[in-house]
């Protein structure tokens, strides 16, 4: 195995672990910034290392399009190409196909789509997805799955589930027979649909070959109540000794809840994207720097944050930069990713040091000082066995 | 700030010099030198933690346009924060302020009148009076600052050109009067368009004031490249040797610091 996963501490379902990868030894729970085209928008690699970034996600679809998998391979792989010394993960390319392209047709063979370059029909097969990812050379690669919208119901879900299983087998074969020269870890995307979770587990014949599991197909419009239940179902069914990656998550609150339920890894464009719209992540929630109230506020974004931005800049100055100058996006992206790295580290350390419930309570009390913790969070924490009753005001008093 | 002009190159107007900007840099900046342009005080795309990768102290010379701060923050807020260096987190850098830049503060001579100079900015055309300009200078506290000027294109009438010189001289005196430090760090602005006589007149008048150096402007506004040397020489021949000379938008022998207009556009 090229991936080693060692649990260092637990609280009920929540785990803190050490994830050893070819390029870096990571601590989980961890958040992965998304480096879509081989770079995180607005930050240099040195800055990413400074804020404690361990693992970056690269989008196979975008990279295969431009600059192309062959070129990346010729130049020694994505690590060398982007000069990133730590760990990399690539997705299978399937999600972008379905979400970005107008004419994506899924058959047993693979995903047929219209090339955005010249409009010609193209086909992405499970085998090809593995080949492309192998050329890119990330520490962790993903198997291609039959992606469906979370809001879909009916027989399509079952069709997607079984097809994904067949595709996973094809990915594994391709990986073993043709990618042996590169040591890599293979995730399989473990699609959790509302009705498909438990059945998937049984049928999936969870072999010990797979290094880890990704919980995908979420954060596509489903309500929060369904979201946490699906994550809870999946983490309950998956093996304890392998990492669980919830794709596309996300908001700090969601990460805390999923970690309590037993997930280990996350990725999302949210922190950097929201930075470009002038929104900073703070312990209280968010801070909209575009607001007129910020124009003369001489405090840093977050008094508890020690990142380069909070140590040097006032809200008043940033108010003038955001959405008007590229530097505003850069500085805010830097702060937001620092915040996410700090959150990851706090989750890991609090579990290892045996104070995870206290950390969760502190987090919720800061975000919901009036005690109005959302019901879905309360329900999820009950299942996770984390007592947050001190954070929640009784329902009756909300209406006072 | 201390500027030492070394001996001029024999047979040419070119001269080398040393600019001591103080602070943590003991070594001087060798002139001729370039200023790095900024947007709201920060170089485009290079955050403060990466500025240290550029050669020092040469990369410590930054241009700032007070016009970028017209909308926000308020001058009172800039004062409370502690001035430009504190606000942008660049304490060791040397800021030279002048209104014009190549991207977001373009002189609009049609809009300029006896009350103030007009600039095309991202938030539209703005008229800036000397009093407002000096309020911003006082709050920003740049290391050096140019007085306000009426920069006109090469094709205006002689009468309009002469008016621009008269206004620029009047505004220089106004700015010095409004300066709480009595013009200690002022760079006298020299204009004069494409007229050798007006250039000479302006330069001589500005040199007669007690200024720290000279900002030679009014170039890059339609004059031909062939005209420039003669116009520049008309100015530099009327200026004292020992004081600092800056020019915007071009590079020719006889000046010490250049405000380049293309570096960020090319990089971007």
| Cα A238–chain centre separation | 18
Confidence of residue B111 (pLDDT cuts 50, 70, 90): very high
Among A115-119, A241-245, B30-34, B72-76, the minimum mean pLDDT is found in A115-119
Work out the burial of residue B110: count CB atoms within 10 Å of its CB; fewer than 13 is exposed, 13-18 middle, 19 or more buried: exposed
Residue B30's CATH number: 3.20.20.105
Count of pairs with CB atoms under 8 A, one residue in A, one in B: 63
Q: How many domains does chain B have?
A: 1
What is the average pLDDT value for chain B, to the nearest integer?
A: 90
**Closest residue on chain A to B85 (Cα):** A312
Q: Output the CA torsion B233→B239→B240→B243 (10° steps).
A: -90
Range of the domain at B186: 2-267
Q: Which residues pair with A89 in a beta bridge?
A: A57, A140
What are the structure tokens assigned to A212, written together?
């880890």
Touching check for B87 and chain A: CB below 8 Å?
A: yes
What's the confidence (pLDDT) of residue A165?
84
Assembly ipTM? 0.90
Identify the helix (H) or strand (E) that includes residue A225: helix A224-237
Burial class (CB in 10 A: 0-12, 13-18, 19+), B208: exposed
Active-site residue, A264 included:
no
For the segment A313-359, what is each residue's pLDDT rounded down to a tens digit? 999 999 999 988 999 999 999 999 999 999 999 999 999 999 999 99
Note the pLDDT of residue A151.
66
First CA to last CA distance, chain A: 58
Whether the CB of B44 is below 8 Å from some CB of chain A: the reply is yes
Whether chain A has a CB inside 8 Å of the CB on B69: the answer is: yes
Q: What is the pLDDT of residues A20-46, one digit of tens each?
A: 999 999 999 999 999 888 889 889 999
* Closest residue in B to A328 (Cα–Cα): B45
Mean pLDDT to the nearest integer, B101-128: 93
pLDDT digits (tens, 9 = 90+) for A52-108: 999 999 988 888 888 999 999 999 999 999 999 999 999 888 777 667 666 678 889
Asked whether the beta carbons of residue A327 and residue B45 sit closer than 8 angstroms, the reply is yes
Q: What is the CA radius of gyration of chain A?
A: 21
């Amino acid at each position: 195995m090229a991936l080693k996963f060692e649990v260092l501490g637990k609280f009920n379902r929540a785990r803190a672990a050490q994830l050893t990868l070819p390029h870096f030894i990571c601590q989980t729970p961890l958040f992965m910034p998304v480096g879509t085209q081989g770079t995180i928008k607005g930050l240099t690699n040195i800055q990413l290392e400074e804020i404690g970034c361990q693992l970056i996600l690269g989008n196979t679809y975008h990279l295969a399009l431009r600059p192309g998998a062959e070129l990346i391979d010729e130049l020694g792989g994505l690590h060398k190409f982007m000069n990133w010394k730590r760990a990399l993960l690539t997705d299978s390319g399937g999600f972008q196909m379905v979400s970005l392209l107008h004419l994506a047709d899924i058959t047993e063979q693979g995903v047929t789509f219209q090339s955005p370059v010249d409009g010609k029909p193209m086909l992405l097969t499970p085998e090809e997805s593995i080949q492309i990812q192998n050329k890119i050379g990330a520490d962790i690669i993903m198997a291609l799955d039959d992606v469906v919208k979370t809001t879909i119901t009916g027989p399509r879900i079952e069709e997607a589930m079984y097809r994904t299983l067949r595709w996973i087998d094809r990915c594994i074969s391709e990986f073993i027979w043709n990618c042996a020269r590169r040591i890599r870890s293979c995730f399989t995307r473990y699609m959790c649909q509302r009705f498909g979770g438990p059945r998937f587990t049984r049928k999936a014949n969870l072999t010990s070959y797979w290094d880890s599991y990704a919980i995908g197909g979420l954060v596509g419009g489903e309500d929060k109540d369904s979201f946490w239940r699906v994550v809870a179902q999946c983490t309950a069914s998956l093996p304890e000794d392998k990492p669980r990656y919830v794709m596309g998550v996300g908001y700090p609150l969601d990460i805390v809840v999923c970690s309590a339920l037993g997930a280990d890894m996350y990725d999302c464009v949210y922190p950097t994207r929201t930075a470009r719209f002038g929104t900073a992540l703070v312990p209280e929630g968010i801070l909209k720097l575009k607001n007129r109230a910020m124009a003369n506020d001489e405090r840093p974004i977050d008094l508890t944050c020690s990142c380069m931005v909070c140590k040097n800049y006032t809200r008043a100055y940033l108010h003038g930069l955001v959405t008007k100058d590229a530097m505003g996006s850069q500085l805010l992206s830097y702060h937001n990713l620092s915040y996410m790295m700090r959150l990851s580290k706090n989750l890991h350390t609090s579990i290892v040091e045996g104070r995870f419930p206290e950390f969760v309570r502190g987090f919720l009390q800061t975000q919901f000082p009036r005690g109005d913790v959302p019901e879905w969070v309360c329900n999820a924490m009950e299942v996770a066995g984390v007592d947050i009753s001190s954070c929640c005001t009784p329902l009756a008093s909300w209406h006072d | 700030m201390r500027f030492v002009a070394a001996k001029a190159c024999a047979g040419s107007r070119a001269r080398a010099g040393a600019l001591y900007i103080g602070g943590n840099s003991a070594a001087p900046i060798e002139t001729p030198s370039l200023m790095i342009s900024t947007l709201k005080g920060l170089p485009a795309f290079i955050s403060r933690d990466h500025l240290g990768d550029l050669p020092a102290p040469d990369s410590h010379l930054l241009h700032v346009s007070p016009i970028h701060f017209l909308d926000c923050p308020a001058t009172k807020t800039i004062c409370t924060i502690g001035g430009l260096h504190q606000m942008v987190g660049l304490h060791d850098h040397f800021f030279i302020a002048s209104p014009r830049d190549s991207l977001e503060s373009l002189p609009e001579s049609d809009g300029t009148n006896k009350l103030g100079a007009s600039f095309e900015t991202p938030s539209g055309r703005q008229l800036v009076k000397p009093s407002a300009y000096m309020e911003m200078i006082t709050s920003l506290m740049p290391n050096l600052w140019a007085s306000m000027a009426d920069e006109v294109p090469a094709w205006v009438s002689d009468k309009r050109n002469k008016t621009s010189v008269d206004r620029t001289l009047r505004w220089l005196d106004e700015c010095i009067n409004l300066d709480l430090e009595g013009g200690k760090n002022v760079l006298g602005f020299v204009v004069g368009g494409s007229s050798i006589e007006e250039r000479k007149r302006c330069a001589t008048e500005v040199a007669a004031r007690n200024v720290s150096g000279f900002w030679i402007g009014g170039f890059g506004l339609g004059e031909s490249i062939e005209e420039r040397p003669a116009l520049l020489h008309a100015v530099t021949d009327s200026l004292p040797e020992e004081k600092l000379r800056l020019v915007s938008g071009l590079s020719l022998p006889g000046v010490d610091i250049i405000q380049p207009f293309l570096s960020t556009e090319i990089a971007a």
